Amino acid sequence: MNQELHTVLPELAHQSELLIAMFDQHDILRYANPAFQEVFAVRLDGSMSWSAMVFESYTTQRGVAIKTDNIEQWIASAYSRRGKLPFRAFESDLTDGRWIWMTETVQENGWMMCIASDITHLRQDGRELRQARDQALRAAQTDMLTSISNRRHISQIIQQAIQDMHQKSMSLHVALFDLDHFKNVNDSFGHAAGDLVLISFSRRLQACTRRDDACGRLGGEEFILCLPQLTTAQAVQVVERLLEDVRHDMALPDMPDFRYTTSAGLVQLRAGETLEQVIDRADHALYQAKEHGRNRLVWLD
């Protein structure tokens, strides 16, 4: 890009009526033009993540009109779809009554550009139908209890990641988690308490993911994490940190002394390996973690 474009592009973005924002690979907001700043609650000092921006916008009734009484669940669900494709576009209502067409473009290095245009003036024909379709699609991808990706969605994401990694000969690690003695939690404290533990674990699991990682609930008390482009030492560190985090998790607010643990199995994708094969090996590692006393990670080469 020549020098003139370097100057002109930011100036145009600054004066544009389009809502323009950039997030870095850690999902920290790094740029927002005045039109974007007018709509969302933003801080541009490098300290605001996407989820913090959504949360603060929600609590100050700005940004996207979010109809939920549980914003954390809403964010968890939205985050499970965020940045998983090089490009996506969707409609959103704003709290100020406008209606926008939001696009997200993700670069290979993880930076994301968000551009939204005001489409309030467009005909409303079919809008409800489109919204119902989007809602149905989201529901089909989301685990109802925990709001993270369900088995089908996470399998699609990992399948895609496997293809990408094979093409680029990059590394990909897959970790399986199974909460320990979870039946005892249900039996001792009730099914509702068990549900709270599953939700709490999901939050911790999601909190340890970068945007190009992905996690989901496979079913019951079994979860999966997909970590692209890390060395095995780094992947082990991520999982060990999560296990340690979980050991201190006060998942049941009414029982501050309650603690739970999880076992984990970690493997690295081999050349030519399929989703089923890599999950099989991770399951084998997980089985060993259970056999060797639970509350631990087993990594298998």
Ligand X SMILES: Nc1nc2c(ncn2[C@@H]2O[C@H](COP(=O)(O)OP(=O)(O)OP(=O)(O)O)[C@@H](O)[C@H]2O)c(=O)[nH]1
Q: Specify the residue for token string 């406008």.
A: 98
Residue nearest to ligand X (CB): 194
**Catalytic residue chosen out of the listed positions 221, 222, 244, 273:** 221
- Binding to ligand X (CB under 6 A) within 263-282 occurs at none
- Binding to ligand X (CB under 6 A) within 94-133 occurs at none
* 222: contact with ligand X by CB under 6 A: no
Give residue 294's Cα distance to chain centre. 27
Q: Which two tokens stand for residue 211?
A: 């945007």
* 288: contact with ligand X by CB under 6 A: no
Residue among 166, 204, 294, 296 that touches ligand X (CB under 6 A):
294
* 164: contact with ligand X by CB under 6 A: no
Active site residue 221: yes
* 151: contact with ligand X by CB under 6 A: no
Pair type for strands 99-106 and 19-23: unpaired
3-state SS class at 90: strand
Instruction: Provide the minimum distance between the beta carbon of 24 and ligand X in the complex, in angstroms, as a whole number.
Output: 35
- Taking a C-beta distance cutoff of 8 angstroms, is the pair 189, 121 a contact? no
* 179: contact with ligand X by CB under 6 A: yes
* 213: contact with ligand X by CB under 6 A: no
Torsion of CA 203, 207, 213, 216, to 10 degrees: -10
The residue (of 91 and 222) whose beta carbon lies closer to ligand X is 222
Residue among 114, 116, 162, 194 that touches ligand X (CB under 6 A):
194
Max Cα distance, the chain (Å) = 68
3-state SS class at 87: strand
Q: Which two tokens stand for residue 264?
A: 């984990």
Q: Which of 184, 215, 185 is nearest to 197 (CA)?
A: 185
Task: Provide the annotated active-site residues.
Answer: 221
User: Which residues of the shown chain bind ligand X in the complex (CB under 6 A)?
Assistant: 145, 178-183, 186, 191, 194-195, 198, 220-221, 290, 294
